[in-house]
Structures are given as structure tokens and as C-alpha cells.
């Protein structure tokens, strides 16, 4: 069974989150302590505080459930994430490291609008979304932009990239993952179709991968966002990412207009 990487919360888990939601009253939906299948990025460690200042913590509702995703700031008023992270009452939190501590660096935005490109939830094709912020992010040491790749650029197999997210943790986690070929990825994922607009990273050998709650976060290679956490198997790598370079013409059109 293939699953998107966002974390679905049960009604019991939602009740456990009420006190934390109150602390984030500026945001309609928030995260708090709960038991989950996979607490952190697989094989990862805590990231250095604000070492990934472009990362966004996204909250929203979908099918009457609280959902969590990641995203990343690409201009002062646009956040990029996965299309399967679309929902109601979407809120983007910038400048976050620990969800329970030091909110002085946080910038919280409701979303003016969102743009997708014919996302197919069955095949996971075109799993990319741009979120227009209500207002502009104020760039600082804890809030920065992440560069995007050139159109149709390809990250070579065996390249070591980095992926980060909160998943089920209060603290930002990160892990280095190795890019693998699409044919190898398909084989490891029970012959799942991996298209040219997707890329894969993470091996069973290393057992390192993004996890639930990390959806929409960037796969960063050589200082650029080349992938968006999209989907994978529930128990082990590899992870499948939207290949951003295949969508750069669309991205430029949305941002410029």
C-alpha cells in the first residue's frame, strides 16, 4: 500500500492536541504530543536550530481531520509544498524549530490562495502546489528563501541530498539520503510506476527516508530544492519526490503573475 507522507490524526489524537492548539491561536490548526507509528524522519537526527530557515510548518484540515505537512519558502510571498497537502484553513508557520519553544522567531500566515497543476491522487502525478501568503515574509536569520533548480535539470544517481521535517516530533529532524534511479525505485516499490516528473531517494541499506508529517518538504541537493516529499511505502525507503525541475515553467508563470 502506497501512502502520502502526511500524518493523519485520529479523533483521540486530536483531543490530546487541544492545549497546544490554544497556544497557537493565531493558527486555526496546530500540532501537539501524540503517539504515532513513526515519530521522526527515519534514521535522522535533530537539525541545528534554524539551519533550514526556508522550511515551513503547514497545518490544515482535510476530511474533517487535522493534517500536518511541510513546505518551503521560494519567494517572500510563496511557499511550495505537495498538492496532496491541500485542505481547509491552511496556515504556514515560518521560522520554526521546536514547536514548544521560542516562538519569537515565528512568522505565521494564512493563505490567500493556492495553485496546483492537475494533481492526480491515484498516480500521484503532479504532486506540487504553490501557496500564496497573506502578506510577505520578513527575511531574517531564521526565515530565508530556498533556491529552485533550472528547468529540466537532473540530479545524478548516488548524489547525497538532505530532507527535513517535523513528522511526529516537536523538533525539526533531518537526514541525508542517496538519490537512486527511477527503475531501481520502481523495483523496490513493488513495480510502482515512477514517471519522469518524479525522483527517488533513500535505500533499504541505509534505512533513511522522510516519514509521515514530512510531506511537502524539500529534497535539497547542492543547495537547491530538487524534490518535494510525495509518497512511499509505510515501513521503509525509498521515498518518492516530485521532480521540481519538470515544473519550473509552470512555477515561474504562477509566481510572475
Q: Which of 5, 50, 70, 127 is catalytic?
A: 127
Residue listed under C-alpha cell 535505500: 203
Reference 249, options 154, 131, 152, 128; nearest CA is: 152
**215 is a catalytic site residue:** yes
Reference 59, options 51, 49, 71; nearest CA is: 71
**127 is a catalytic site residue:** yes
d(CA 31, CA 61): 12
From residue 238, alpha-carbon distances to 78, 199, 228, 255 in Å are: 28, 10, 14, 31
Sign of CA dihedral 242, 73, 98, 86: negative
Per DSSP, the three-state class of 190 is coil
From residue 19, alpha-carbon distances to 11, 40, 64, 183 in Å are: 15, 22, 19, 46
Q: Which of 5, 50, 70, 84 is catalytic?
A: 84
Q: Which of 142, 169, 211, 215 is catalytic?
A: 215
**226 is a catalytic site residue:** no
Task: Please give the grid coordinates belonging to residue 47.
Answer: 537539525
* Residues labelled catalytic: 84, 127, 215
Amino acid at each position: 500500500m502506497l501512502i502520502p507522507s502526511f500524518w493523519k490524526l485520529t479523533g483521540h489524537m486530536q483531543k490530546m492536541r487541544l492545549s497546544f492548539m490554544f497556544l497557537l491561536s493565531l493558527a486555526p490548526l496546530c500540532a501537539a504530543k501524540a503517539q504515532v507509528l513513526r515519530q521522526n524522519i527515519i534514521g535522522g537526527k535533530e537539525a541545528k536550530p534554524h539551519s533550514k530557515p526556508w522550511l515551513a510548518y503547514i497545518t490544515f484540515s482535510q476530511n474533517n481531520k487535522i493534517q500536518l505537512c511541510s513546505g518551503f519558502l521560494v519567494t517572500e510571498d510563496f511557499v511550495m509544498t505537495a498538492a496532496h497537502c491541500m485542505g481547509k484553513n491552511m496556515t504556514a508557520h515560518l521560522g520554526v524549530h521546536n514547536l514548544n519553544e521560542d516562538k519569537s522567531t515565528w512568522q505565521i500566515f494564512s493563505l490567500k490562495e493556492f495553485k496546483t497543476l492537475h494533481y492526480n491522487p491515484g498516480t500521484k502525478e503532479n504532486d506540487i502546489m504553490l501557496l500564496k501568503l497573506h502578506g510577505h515574509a520578513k527575511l531574517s536569520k531564521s526565515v530565508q528563501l530556498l533556491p529552485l533548480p533550472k528547468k529540466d535539470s537532473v540530479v545524478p544517481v548516488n548524489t547525497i541530498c538532505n530532507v527535513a521535517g517535523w513528522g511526529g516530533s516537536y523538533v525539526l529532524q533531518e537526514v541525508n539520503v542517496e538519490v537512486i534511479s527511477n527503475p531501481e525505485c520502481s523495483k523496490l516499490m513493488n513495480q510502482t510506476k515512477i514517471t519522469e516528473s518524479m525522483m527517488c531517494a533513500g535505500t533499504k541499506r541505509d534505512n533513511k527516508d522522510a516519514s509521515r508529517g514530512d510531506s511537502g518538504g524539500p529534497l535539497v541537493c547542492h543547495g537547491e530544492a530538487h524534490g518535494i516529499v510525495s509518497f512511499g511505502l509505510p515501513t521503509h525507503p525509498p521515498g518518492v519526490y516530485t521532480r521540481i525541475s519538470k515544473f519550473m515553467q509552470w512555477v515561474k508563470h504562477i509566481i510572475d503573475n
